[in-house]
Structure 1
Amino acid sequence: MSKLPVTLPDGQQAPLGQLIRPGLPTVISLWASWCGPCQLEAPDIVELRRHFGPDKINLVYLNVREDGAPPADLARFLRSIGMPPHDYVSMGYADLPRLTNDTRNLIPRTFVFDKAGTPIAMIVGYKPMALARIPGLLSD
């Protein structure tokens, strides 16, 4: 997973693992701006970022299933949910099954990893009660 290519908001390519700081819990949230459940989930992801702050968690807000979407459109969506317009990365649709190990490509989907990088939860679909449990899963 760490070698999968992602596109940064400035158009540069990087491996997904480059975005993960060692020793911190990681949440990877898959979304698309046109996805209704993703739009419902977005405020919960924003709250998760506020709860932990930028120094206590790796939060990768990963846009998928929008190959070729103009960065300005994605930035507009992010501003509408209260997230900084540069606070996302994108992955090509063809790489999504390699990330999820699932050909169904369901979104929203949120992966939660502990500080050691061990998967501890996966949430498929918009499930606010499950999202609300993430801080407890990641607390020391």
Structure 2
Amino acid sequence: MDRRKMFPAPRHILLAAVAGVIAGAVAVYVSNTRSGNNAPAPASVATNTGADASADDKLCAAKADRAKAVGAAATGHVAAMLPADPPRSLKSLAFNGPDGKPMTVADHSGRTLLINLWATWCAPCRAEMPALDALEREMGGENFEVVAVNVDTGDDTKPKKFLEETGVASLGFYRENTLALFNDLKKQGLALGLPVTLLIDGDGCLLANMNGPAEWASPDAKKLIEAALAQ
């Protein structure tokens, strides 16, 4: 399949409200994957860096230059990945691991993560899943992991069936079926719709984020991950 057909032309942006999921349903974006760093960034969420800030807050806030460097590496197919301003701690983000047990970002300490929220009813999410699988297969390891978190409500039947039918085999099966994770990110100004992707370093600090799909198997994506790992 020609991957260029999986994503829209740059001039087409579609925002579809998905009704019936929950009150205030999650929006689904099919966005331009090449114009992100030229587009207005979402409103920043204040991070406490004063005397009463936690050690995690201070550690992440001190990584502004690193976030900018990672953002500068976001070009081409991943240009919509915006540098965190300011970087913030996301160590407490919670979801279930492949074993079905609750976990947080802190449980991945020491490993850079590309966290992607997706759902089976989100067409652009489905389209980019094989590319995320390819990125994990090629670059995943001790220092990096693609953490694709399915946010379908209900049981595991539909998401597992979708992954099996599309041949996704390298990604771990992460789940959060209450939309609490999405709503947490929405409150922080990081999630506008699905898919949403976060680039988080080994200290649990957000370095960059993106709303909308991307071609994650592209050289542009690999260059972005290499930049994050090199810092």
TM-score band (shorter)?
A: 0.7 to 0.9
Q: Aligned AA for 1:6?
A: F
1:71 to 146, 156, 162: 156
SS at match of 2:208: strand
C-alpha distance in 1 between matches for 2:207 and 2:189: 17
Query: Unmatched 5+ residue regions in structure 1?
Result: none
SS at match of 1:60: strand
Match of 2:205 in 1: 118
Match of 1:90 in 2: 175
Residues 1:115 and 1:84: Cα distance change in structure 2 (over 3 Å): same
Contact 1:79 1:85 in 2 (8 A): no
The answer on 1:14 being equivalent to 2:102 is: yes
Contact 1:96 1:105 in 2 (8 A): no
The answer on 1:3 being equivalent to 2:88 is: no
The answer on 1:134 being equivalent to 2:224 is: yes
Q: Aligned AA for 1:93?
A: L
Query: Normalising by the residue count of structure 2, what TM-score does the alignment of the two structures yield?
Result: 0.50
SS at match of 1:55: coil
Match of 1:80 in 2: 165
Query: Normalising by the residue count of structure 1, what TM-score does the alignment of the two structures yield?
Result: 0.77
Match of 1:52 in 2: 139
C-alpha distance in 1 between matches for 2:193 and 2:179: 12
Residues 1:102 and 1:73: Cα distance change in structure 2 (over 3 Å): same
Runs of 4+ in 1 over 6 A off after TM superposition: none
Residues 62-110 of structure 1: CA deviation (Å, up to 9, x unaligned): 112x211x31321111123332398222222134221342386411111
Query: Unmatched 5+ residue regions in structure 2?
Result: 1-89
Q: Aligned AA for 1:137?
A: A
1:36 to 116, 119, 123: 123
Contact 2:118 2:194 in 1 (8 A): yes
